Structure 1
């Protein structure tokens, strides 16, 4: 509520509709405007998950997503574009997304297309026994503790607990909270096995040297 009379409406990363159907887009937002006006809306903020441009690793524009029409459509319906913001904002959604197309690609294909640093990091975590699992709602405090430490060390404002729990509540299994961890029992076992193999190779090499000094 604003001034106890008016209301602020925000469609977080939405609305979720078929944006390829321009007739539907016009109808939906036209009716949405009528709906919020009936409910004393002072400000309606939409933030659709709709690509505008494609960029590479270096931030260079590689193509247009073909959605320029959406800006004209929304302007004709009375909406105002607030601009392309940059950086972190506690209210607005992030502008850039790093998206990897996995269609028809194997794990090896993905690694081959990585740059040198990402390849080394991937091989390193695999060798060090790093695994990934997804946290349940009951385990969300684990994630929150990491976020609190990170927001403090990196000096940015984090969302409150309600923000994250609401997403789990309403989006259910569409929300994944990954946790990278090391199972030290398994890791130590793998290291011991690797050590045994290296010792065998070393002993064999020493014997070969004795035979052919």
Structure 2
């Protein structure tokens, strides 16, 4: 299948994910890859970007980040896809296949503990287990999974500003008062963004992505790749403070001794 057909299917599917887009293989260019799909009555019903990590002794592993993309409730389709993928894997001396589809399990408030958060997953797990897949369990540590299992969301709605917590409103006013500006663009901000990432690495003692990685992302996602930066003109703040200081000093001089 061609890139347009592949991406169109992924984009319009409920399990759409960037990591299953056609060009993600170009971002992960230190892996080999292959594009897979299933047609039913000449209609594309499943796709999967398979990343291939070559291992010693001519072995390899397959990984489908946030994939494959298909109707997981269609047990026959899931079974057929993995049966065919395992046949390809056997020929390629693949020792295991790893996949982590982005199935939406549940929503719950971050301040509460929802004991029924996994109640609807058994249907999917039974299907995957019938394909001989091994579920790694409902882990909570980020180190236990390749992709994050939890995502913090704030859903937008009309008049959302009025319902924000007092602390959030105060932070917004604080940023406005300090002249914080949000700017965005693409390649023109790459150097500055990369510099800030390096500063974060140094300050936090962590290893993050380098400039080359972000350049590759922008190059492969021309319509979707955007860099956002928050800027603050400290020189203007300094000048404003000086003007305010002079004004206050004049007021002090003109104020009576007994005045508050």
Alignment of 1:1-213 (within 5 A): 1-15=54-68, 17-19=69-71, 22-23=74-75, 24-58=77-111, 60-61=113-114, 64=117, 66-89=120-143, 92-102=146-156, 105-106=157-158, 109-137=159-187, 139-161=189-211, 163-182=213-232
Q: Structure 1 34/130 Cα, relative in aligned 2: closer, same or farther at 3 Å?
A: farther
Higher relative helix content: 1
> Quick check: 1:7–1:40 contact (8 Å CA) kept in 2?
yes
Q: Structure 1 61/150 Cα, relative in aligned 2: closer, same or farther at 3 Å?
A: farther
Q: Which runs of 5 or more structure 1 residues have no equivalent in the other structure?
A: 204-213
> Quick check: 1:13–1:49 contact (8 Å CA) kept in 2?
yes
**Greater alpha carbon shift after TM alignment, 54-63 vs 41-50:** 54-63
Q: CA deviation at 1:76?
A: 1.2
Give the distance between the partners of 1:64 and 1:131, measured in 2 at CA.
39
> Quick check: 1:135–1:176 contact (8 Å CA) kept in 2?
yes
> Quick check: 2:58–2:93 contact (8 Å CA) kept in 1?
yes
> Quick check: 1:51–1:67 contact (8 Å CA) kept in 2?
no
Q: Secondary structure at the match of 1:117?
A: helix
Q: Paired residue for 1:210?
A: none
TM normalised by structure 1 equals 0.67
Instruction: Return the structure number with greater relative CO, CA threshold 8 A, min gap 6.
Output: 1
Q: Which runs of 5 or more structure 2 residues have no equivalent in the other structure?
A: 1-53, 252-260
Q: Paired residue for 1:207?
A: none
- How large is the RMSD of aligned CA atoms in angstroms? 3.6
Give the distance between the partners of 1:146 and 1:39, measured in 2 at CA.
42
Give the distance between the partners of 1:31 and 1:115, measured in 2 at CA.
52
Q: Secondary structure at the match of 1:174?
A: coil
> Quick check: 2:72–2:124 contact (8 Å CA) kept in 1?
no
